[in-house]
């Protein structure tokens, strides 16, 4: 070896080169030596979480802000608890690194040959690896120090290239063994396009942009995942056409931009947005993913919409394969299409609603009221719940200021994800999380980690006592009648604000707008830890843009 390096140090050095400053972890005897001897001295801050799924969601939120996130767990009993978080990151293209501390080669062979089991074993060396092969773009087992550098580099390169999770199985007896030191700096693999497909796609789209009287640009989540915000903004400004986003890409560009109209999300969209989509004669959808969450009772007009995503262009009967989104935008920009002269639709001004301090808070009223606290220093997180609808119409002026897991839609994601977001955010920014009570019950321990670290998210728990979104999906008519909720949708009621006493943070319980205003004022002044605001709303109130699904 030309320089002294070990497998444990190699992995740490590579992660630091990629910009990782915090590592989320759960203590386990198969991984603790690596954490203690290599991660801690490196300057990477270890964030000790309370359980693996919260650690995974926190690392996911961190990765969305920083470009990479990582968590370290222990074999099987720990790793398999993180499956849901890794699956969500895979679906939503989040670059997440799962490091799984694993029993030694000797323990594995003894188990496989004699049946003498080490704790956490299920079926030997393949259990965890095979589980994560389906949820990652690379799954590697580090059981030889000479192969470790190549395996680690391969997995991390796949992670930053494909923007998806990877799995690294780090055997406990490999950590201190010598290996070659890192060479150079890891970079994403080159993006490739088929020249013929690219030229045809650019030509077809530019022809439509030039001939269309009322074109519209629809920006999707891949603009964020691939770091194409500046190029997308340049294109919109060059064309001088209005743009909309999807829920998953809300606030990918500033919503203060004069060309921004709103979020196009089926019948949950504002009337201004649906009218614009209906009257536009050509829609250029860049990086948009089609899911049931961003259609919601509405089907795109495929004859007038060109979809560029997943390395392909689809427009009517035209298909252009192997067309990278970045190359497509570059090609359209290079054509320098003359800007359109088009009057933008008028967007109604939003002000603070006129309510009495003693009025009971409704679901829609809550969002109308809380808008005044969302500014350019605010990052909003919305959980899988009826909060999708309320937050969809919020004005979020900060680019990248909205985080949602709406494609995978695991309830309980947003509150623990706020841990990672708080660690990755810029100075002066504040995180507001809107959670349903059902989802919050799944991951409430996040308050413990946030309190211990002095993080200051404001977590609003909308307390209506039911899994309202599940009821809405199954039978929304219940919200417009005297019919009871489905029994599986009913929750055991918690005193959410009292959890502040358990975890050592601040808490408020509110049911009127006066109480809500006092609570938010107090929470904004609390910068030493998290604030949980329990917002009681009548069970059958829902956001206005969810009322279309009555039956």
Binding site annotation covers 464? yes
Does residue 461 contact residue 516 with C-beta atoms inside 8 Å?
no
CB atoms within 10 A of CB 523: 24
Residues 6 or more apart whose CB falls under 8 angstroms from that of 482 comprise none
CB atoms within 10 A of CB 178: 16
Cα distances from 377 to residues 253, 525, 543, in angstroms, run 14, 15, 25
CA distance 304 to 209: 11
State both tokens at 442: 């799944």
- In which element (H, E) is residue 314 found? strand 312-315
- Tell me phi and psi for residue 386, to 5 degrees: -65, -10
Which stretches of 345-494 are assigned E, i.e. beta strand? Answer: 378-382, 402-404, 430-436, 458-463
Binding site annotation covers 437? yes
CA distance 29 to 76: 12
CA distance 142 to 136: 16
Does residue 389 contact residue 548 with C-beta atoms inside 8 Å?
no
Residues 6 or more apart whose CB falls under 8 angstroms from that of 54 comprise 416, 419, 443, 445, 446, 449
Which stretches of 37-78 are assigned E, i.e. beta strand? Answer: 45-48, 69-74
* Block residue for tokens 């660690």: 423
**Which runs of consecutive H residues, i.e. helices, occur in 255-377?**
271-279, 325-334, 363-370
CA distance 312 to 197: 9
Residues 6 or more apart whose CB falls under 8 angstroms from that of 7 comprise 142, 145, 148, 170, 174, 175, 176, 177, 179
Q: In 3-state terms, what secondary structure has residue 540?
A: coil
State both tokens at 310: 């997943």
Q: Which DSSP string do the residues of 203-250 spell out, in sequence order?
A: HHHHHHHHH-SSEEEEE-HHHHHTT-HHHHHHHHHHHT--EEE-GGGT
Q: How many residues does the chain have?
A: 551
Indicate if the alpha-carbon torsion angle 298, 299, 300, 303 is positive or negative.
Answer: negative
- Residue list for the binding site: 437, 464
Annotated binding site for Mg(2+): 437, 464
């Amino acid at each position: 070896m030309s320089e002294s390096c070990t497998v444990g140090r190699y992995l740490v050095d590579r992660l630091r080169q990629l910009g990782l400053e915090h590592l989320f972890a759960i203590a386990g005897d198969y991984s603790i030596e690596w954490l203690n001897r290599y991660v801690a001295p490196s300057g990477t801050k270890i964030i000790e979480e309370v359980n693996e799924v919260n650690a995974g969601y926190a690392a996911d939120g961190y990765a969305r802000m920083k470009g990479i996130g990582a968590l370290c767990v222990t074999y099987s009993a720990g790793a398999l608890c993180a499956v849901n978080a890794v699956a969500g990151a895979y679906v939503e293209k989040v670059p997440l690194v799962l490091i799984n501390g694993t029993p030694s080669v000797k323990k594995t062979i003894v188990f496989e040959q004699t049946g003498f089991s080490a704790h956490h074993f299920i079926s030997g060396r393949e259990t965890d690896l095979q589980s994560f092969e389906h949820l990652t773009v690379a799954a590697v087992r580090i059981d030889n120090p000479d192969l470790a550098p190549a395996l680690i580099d391969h997995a991390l390169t796949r992670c930053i290239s494909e923007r998806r999770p990877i799995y690294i199985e780090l055997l406990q007896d490999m950590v201190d063994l010598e290996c070659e030191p890192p060479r150079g700096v890891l970079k994403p693999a080159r993006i490739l396009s088929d020249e013929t497909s690219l030229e045809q796609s650019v030509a077809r789209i530019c022809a439509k942009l030039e001939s269309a009287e009322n074109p519209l640009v629809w920006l999707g989540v891949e603009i964020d995942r691939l770091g194409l915000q500046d190029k997308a903004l340049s294109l919109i400004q060059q064309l001088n056409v209005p743009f909309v986003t999807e829920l998953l890409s809300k606030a990918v560009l500033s919503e203060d931009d004069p060309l921004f109209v709103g979020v196009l999300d089926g019948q949950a969209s504002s009337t201004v947005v649906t009218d614009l989509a209906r009257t536009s004669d050509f829609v250029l959808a860049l990086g948009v993913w089609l899911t049931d969450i961003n259609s919601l009772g509405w089907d795109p007009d495929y004859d007038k919409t060109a979809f560029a995503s997943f390395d392909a262009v689809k427009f009517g009967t035209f298909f252009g394969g192997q067309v990278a989104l970045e190359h497509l935008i570059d090609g359209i920009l290079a054509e320098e299409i003359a800007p359109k002269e088009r009057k933008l639709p008028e967007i109604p001004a939003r002000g603070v609603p006129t309510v009495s301090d003693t009025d009971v808070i409704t679901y829609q009223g809550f969002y109308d009221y809380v808008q005044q606290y969302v500014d350019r220093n605010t990052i909003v997180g919305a959980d899988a719940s009826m909060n999708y609808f309320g937050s969809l119409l919020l004005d979020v002026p900060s680019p990248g200021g909205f985080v949602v897991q709406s494609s995978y839609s695991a309830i309980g994601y947003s509150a623990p994800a706020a841990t990672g977001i708080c660690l990755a955010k810029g100075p002066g920014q504040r995180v507001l999380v809107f959670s349903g009570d059902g989802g919050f019950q799944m991951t409430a321990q996040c308050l413990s980690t946030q309190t211990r670290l002095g993080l200051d998210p404001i977590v609003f728990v909308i307390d209506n006592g039911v899994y309202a979104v599940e009821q809405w999906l199954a039978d929304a008519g219940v919200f417009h009648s005297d019919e009871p909720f489905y029994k599986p949708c009913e929750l055991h009621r918690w005193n959410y604000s009292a959890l502040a006493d358990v975890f050592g943070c601040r808490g408020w319980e509110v049911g009127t707008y006066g109480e809500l205003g006092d609570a938010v004022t107090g929470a904004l002044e609390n910068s030493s830890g998290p604030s949980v605001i329990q917002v009681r709303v009548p069970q059958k109130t829902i956001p206005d843009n969810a009322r279309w699904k009555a039956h």
